[in-house]
């Protein structure tokens, strides 16, 4: 499939160079493997890596002043986003809209691994539990 969604001649580079940062070291332990702030990359998103082996476990209820996108890389998760409950498996993506309290948990079996994209150059969060 060939895509041509826009004319490349209409977009001017802004002078930034490609940048590489470490999201998490290979030997990282615990559920929060690491994060990479958009500020470090000169971009508008912050990326977090989360994972655990225990069904029922996950981040506590919290809220952000921006959208958060969750990518399930491995396992199965149950997301609580406002009044919505969404189950997602590896390969699926869930949106947590800004200002809406949310959390998620591993529903097993096995490891849950997510990549969490914060639509902000910095990670801002208020825990509600």
| Burial per residue of 19-29, b for 16 or more beta-carbon CB atoms within 10 angstroms, e otherwise | eeeeebeeeee
User: What pLDDT, in 10s, does the model give residues 45-101?
Assistant: 999 999 999 999 999 999 999 999 999 999 999 999 999 999 999 999 999 999 999
Q: Is the pTM of this model over 0.95?
A: no
Domains and CATH numbers, the chain: 38-127 (2.60.120.10)
Going through 18-122 in order, the beta strands assigned E by DSSP cover: 32-36, 46-52, 62-63, 68-74, 76-81, 84-89, 93-96, 102-106, 112-118
Closest CA to 41 of 125, 124, 119, 121: 121
Q: Reduce the DSSP state of residue 56 to 3 states and report it.
A: coil
């Amino acid at each position: 499939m060939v895509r041509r969604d826009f004319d490349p001649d209409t977009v001017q580079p802004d002078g930034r160079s490609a940048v590489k940062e470490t999201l998490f070291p290979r030997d990282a332990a615990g559920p929060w493997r690491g994060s990479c702030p958009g500020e470090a990359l000169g971009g508008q998103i912050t990326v977090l890596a989360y994972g655990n082996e225990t069904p029922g476990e996950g981040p506590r209820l919290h809220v952000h002043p921006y959208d958060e996108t969750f990518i399930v890389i491995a396992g199965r998760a149950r997301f609580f986003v406002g009044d919505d409950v969404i189950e997602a498996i590896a390969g699926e993506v869930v949106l947590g809209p800004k200002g809406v309290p949310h959390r998620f948990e591993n529903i097993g079996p096995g490891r849950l691994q997510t990549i969490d994209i914060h639509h902000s150059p910095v990670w801002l969060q208020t825990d509600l539990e």
